[in-house]
Amino acid sequence: MIQLHIATESDIKPFTHLRAGETKLGETLQLCDSLDDIVNNNCTYVLFGICEDIGIRANYGKPGAVKAWGSFVKAFVNVQDNQFNNGNDILLLGHIAVSPDIDDIDKEHPETLGSIVARIDSKVATVTNRIVAAGKIPIVIGGGHNNAYGNIKGTATALQKAINVINFDAHTDLRKTEYRHSGNGFTYALESENSYLNTYCIFGLHKNYTPQYIYNMIATSDHISVFDMEDMLLESKQVENFETAISQLSDNTLGVEIDVDSIANFSSSAQTPSGFNLEVMRYFLGQLARKTKCGYLHICEAAPTKKNYQQVGKALSYLVTDFIRNHRGYYTL
């Protein structure tokens, strides 16, 4: 079963560490009773999680992304509510959960999970569509990168137009469409008969992990642009190429996708020793919030362990607060 679980105070209060003279986001975040209620809410941002790693398993990946939302919430509710962080402008909607547990699924035949991923697509697209149609910005945390398709479809159908997407990722996620998994969400978005995706920019692609058939696809497409990591190892070059990328995307609503495997040493389904550092990614996200028409933000593939659970949650919280703060006009460099 795939359900949207609406957040309640009991999902927040036990993890919010109160202190005299201070106010935490866990004390000020808005909640709602149902998805229908968001249209009448005065918030700008709607947070929801996706608690699944089925798409990752279907793509022969390392599970663990199902835990990202929980680690994020426990950190986020303890962020200080102050002149830079305003919980009253943020609605904590809840999370999409997938049950029953799939640990016993045949690991030698992950393609059997494709039909479940397709059902998750439908739920994610519905939730994202409702948020965007209500004039608000979805901020989506957790799950595999298969969920990019639902985000793109939901946003595009709400706006009734194809959107642009920038994807910070070591991989293109443009694999073949034999069945749904975390490695082909953007292929489905590009090839959909309703044309959900206009321009797709992959920023930080790793040459070592991109098949030649995908490079051939990119070479013949008018809708895909690529900035390879190996061509911008210096941070100054990363910033320069980033400015070029957003100048090509700023004329349309932009979906922002961050696969945390693009961040060096970030605990993820495909952790890598080489990539952007977290501070550079925070800078990129702030600039996107300031300079483009952001339709949604999706941070995926984080796979916290018992050892780094708290640190992963804090890192995700930094990214979310950077995005909101810059979008609201409290600029960073």
CATH code assigned at 18: 3.40.800.10
> β-strands 293-300, 137-141: how paired?
parallel
Number of domains within the chain: 1
167 belongs to a structural domain: yes
Sequence-separated contacts (24+) of 107-111 with Cβ below 8 Å: 107/57, 110/57, 110/58, 110/59, 110/60, 110/181, 111/58, 111/178, 111/179, 111/181
The confidence score (pLDDT) of residue 106 equals 61
73 domain residue, yes or no: yes
Cα dist from 154 to 123, 138, 163, 194, 289, whole Å: 9, 10, 11, 12, 20
Q: Is position 243 within any domain?
A: yes
CB 102 within 8 A of CB 54: yes
- Output the pLDDT for position 331: 62
Residue with tokens 């959909």: 192
| Residue 229 within any structural domain of the chain | yes
Q: Please list, in sequence order, all residues whose beta carbon lies within 8 angstroms of the beta carbon of residue 266, skipping any fewer than 6 positions away.
A: 260, 275, 278, 302, 312, 315
pLDDT (0 to 100) of residue 220: 97
State the Cα–Cα distance between residues 327 and 291, nearest whole angstrom.
Answer: 9
CA atoms within 13 A on the CB side of 296: 38
Residue 138 lies in a domain: yes
Residues 6+ apart with CB under 8 A from 311: none
Residues of the chain with pLDDT under 50: none
Report the distance separating Cα 37 and Cα 294, nearest Å: 23
Entry pTM: 0.96
CA-closest candidate to residue 209, choices 244, 136, 259: 259
Question: 227: closest CA among 291, 285, 275?
Answer: 275
Domain membership flag for residue 271: yes
- Which residues span the domain enclosing 301? 2-328
Residues 6+ apart with CB under 8 A from 50: 69, 95, 96, 120, 124, 140, 141, 142, 143, 147, 300
Q: Is position 102 within any domain?
A: yes
CA angle (198, 194, 44) in 5-degree steps: 65
Strand partners, 24: 80
Residue 333 lies in a domain: no
Please give the pLDDT value at position 104: 52
